[in-house]
Structure 1
């Protein structure tokens, strides 16, 4: 007797194969649709970043062209390289020997130099090198070498030329090209955007902050406004319109304000006048409207911003990644985890900042240490006191940046509802999984 149920749920092998086949087809279609949605998001993001990048590049090019074409001619009495400083090429060494300058005996040269530009182009002049001024050892002129010389006429019409410096443009361009290639190879598109953001920062410093200060504007406010402009442009250029970027900008502004107040307070409290650098004396001779003390404060603010930017964006990224990994973390847990990472980061950053300032002033430290002075008196010297205040104020600004950034970022991602609300206004989260 056949006991098989005519409505048995068991399927034949052909039916099972057909079912699996249709399941695979449906899964493939879903995967293709999901992939298309992802690629669409990627294209939209890349197109947005590309458009913004192109606009920034165009703005930079237009600014440079306009500023350079409207630049006034250099005056002959300008400090440093004026209109009389031109390029020259060493044709031959006319004379060489040794000369005694005080207690130092050194080699000297008299070179015949062909002027390569300016009113005296193609004129041959004699230039002494080491005959009247002390030079570093191991530096001598060679035939075919290009140098900078200052050319002028004496009252009786005679042409005189003086050695100014070596031309270093070619090796510096080689080094810069290596830097650009390495940055792009390691970081890709982000590396290119970082290079572009560096250009934006330099552009604003040289074409906005410096001209405004020289024109008599307050150095502190000028540096703050200029710094905020290039920080905003560079942050959006590299990281896009994201919640992470907005959090970082707010934290940077707050930390920068704290650093500015500390700089003003301690520069006045320590009676620093800005004349620790000899350049300040030349600036005072050129412009009576310059407040050198405020220029010192502005330099502290700008000098701190580079490290501050790095620290703040890193902390904001940490908080966003913590939220992405575990949205259920409490505010306290997320803040504590990010702060723990920030302490390690700031410990290394502080050391870097202090060593950078010490390295920049190493020559002066060596000079002042020749006669074994009292180090308590040594740190009181204007130049050294400036560097100490600069490094300590900058470090205090960094200390404030970590809790401020963590607090703002942790508040922003405290609940999924708040994240959704903020992301609708300020863009995607900015974590690594965002497309």
Structure 2
């Protein structure tokens, strides 16, 4: 019996490898590529020694309130103003365990009153003579962030099961690529648009393989996503040229301009369209996978449909998605700038003044170019999927299905 069980285990492992070998090969190649690019993206420098005077950010806990003159300001919608003198015990760094007097400066736009027992991030300044002082930098949000992220992970796995867990892995890959590959490459002077597009294509391939393995459905979805993202990039460049505006007119580009003046060869002009491509990637990927998955199911049930019929089915499915997805993208961009929109509305600007403002131009490019990527991903994915599926008249089980699911229902047969 033990021998039979061992043979069954080996057969199961062999079957798993047979179904997933290409996924493993592609993910292994992607990992090697990631390591190579990461090594090229980062310039290893020796850590610079600290000078005679330096500042550190450490955690601390409020143990006592010595004075407090903070009060709510009705003009600032109940925001607090004033300052506190606190006793705080340092919980990290070279001064761990020491109790210090710290000032907490509070205003409507920064800081908040603290209570005994609350944690805060302390800015500790050390001087040449060895003395040191501390002020409250901000409320310590590490625990709150951990709880929020934990609830998100729990909900994703609880509702999505294995697919939800895979989506979290794909999300982690996306974040690592953005922060460990894209930004370091841009900081070293790599071409902004080309680098962003290649990183997005890499994220697309790895994400699709993680979620669905290597099969026709994921191949079609990946190709549709890359094509839709490329068109969003091209339309963004066209809109940028027509409106005569680029990344130099972004509202938060001034610190980056100062960074260039210190010698960092960061390309600023392409940042506007680069942001469009990154923001559109998730929506385009969603649309492409939905259409590819739906057409694969249609082909599995009705393998006699020709490519034209499959394309029409994909377009019918995609039209229902375009309206809501486009609305989602536009509202996302408007929602991110809601406070500034309210400010502009309060000024009572002339329509011509508003239309010609850089803010309006950048928002139009961001919202519409992203939507164009989603809209054009529909026919592109439908065309690619129908072309690939009609080559094989024999229906195959969708990705991730069990062998016994390959049989069609009797009424279809």
Give the TM-score range, shorter chain: 0.7 to 0.9
> 1:162 corresponds to which residue?
135
Summarize the Cα distance change of 1:184–1:56 in structure 2 as closer, same or farther, 3 Å threshold. farther
Q: Deviations over 1:269-314 (max 9, x none)?
A: 3232325555421122123422222122211111110111111011
> 1:111 corresponds to which residue?
86
Tell me if 1:338 matches 2:310.
Answer: no
2:58 pairs with 86, 93, 98, which one? 86
> 2:293 corresponds to which residue?
317
Q: 1:90·1:146 contact (CA, 8 Å) conserved in 2?
A: yes
1:286 pairs with 259, 262, 276, which one? 259
2:235 pairs with 262, 267, 271, which one? 262
> 2:174 corresponds to which residue?
201
The runs of 5 or more residues in structure 1 that have no matched partner are 1-35
Tell me if 1:221 matches 2:194.
Answer: yes
What is the root-mean-square deviation of aligned Cα atoms in Å? 4.0
Summarize the Cα distance change of 1:302–1:330 in structure 2 as closer, same or farther, 3 Å threshold. same
Summarize the Cα distance change of 1:165–1:384 in structure 2 as closer, same or farther, 3 Å threshold. farther
> 1:22 corresponds to which residue?
none
Tell me if 1:183 matches 2:159.
Answer: no
Q: 1:86·1:117 contact (CA, 8 Å) conserved in 2?
A: yes
Partner of 1:188, secondary structure, is helix
- The CA distance in 2 between the partners of 1:140 and 1:149, in whole Å, is 14
- The CA distance in 2 between the partners of 1:319 and 1:90, in whole Å, is 60
Could you tell me how far 1:196 is from its partner in structure 2?
0.6
Summarize the Cα distance change of 1:431–1:333 in structure 2 as closer, same or farther, 3 Å threshold. farther
1:294-313 equivalences in 2 (<5 Å): 294-313=270-289
> 2:327 corresponds to which residue?
351
- The CA distance in 2 between the partners of 1:344 and 1:281, in whole Å, is 41
Could you tell me how far 1:51 is from its partner in structure 2?
5.8
Q: 1:213·1:219 contact (CA, 8 Å) conserved in 2?
A: yes
Summarize the Cα distance change of 1:358–1:188 in structure 2 as closer, same or farther, 3 Å threshold. same
Could you tell me how far 1:154 is from its partner in structure 2?
5.8
- The CA distance in 1 between the partners of 2:268 and 2:326, in whole Å, is 27
Q: 1:321·1:431 contact (CA, 8 Å) conserved in 2?
A: no
Partner of 2:346, secondary structure, is coil
Partner of 2:247, secondary structure, is coil
Could you tell me how far 1:74 is from its partner in structure 2?
8.7
> 1:19 corresponds to which residue?
none
> 2:247 corresponds to which residue?
274
Could you tell me how far 1:94 is from its partner in structure 2?
1.5
Aligned residues: 386
> 2:120 corresponds to which residue?
147
The runs of 5 or more residues in structure 2 that have no matched partner are 1-8, 408-413
Q: Deviations over 1:407-434 (max 9, x none)?
A: 11111122545x68xx8xxxx7648655
Q: Deviations over 1:343-368 (max 9, x none)?
A: 11111111111111111111222222
Q: 2:105·2:136 contact (CA, 8 Å) conserved in 1?
A: no
> 1:378 corresponds to which residue?
354
Could you tell me how far 1:48 is from its partner in structure 2?
4.9
- The CA distance in 2 between the partners of 1:210 and 1:130, in whole Å, is 34
> 2:305 corresponds to which residue?
329
Q: Which shifted more, 403-412 or 167-176?
A: 167-176
Q: 2:27·2:209 contact (CA, 8 Å) conserved in 1?
A: no
- The CA distance in 1 between the partners of 2:34 and 2:101, in whole Å, is 40
Q: Deviations over 1:111-163 (max 9, x none)?
A: 223333334444444333345x44479x4201121112322246787534333
Could you tell me how far 1:335 is from its partner in structure 2?
1.4
> 1:126 corresponds to which residue?
101
Partner of 1:110, secondary structure, is strand
Could you tell me how far 1:341 is from its partner in structure 2?
1.0
Structure (1 or 2) with the larger CA radius of gyration: 1
Partner of 1:87, secondary structure, is strand
1:96 pairs with 43, 64, 68, which one? 68
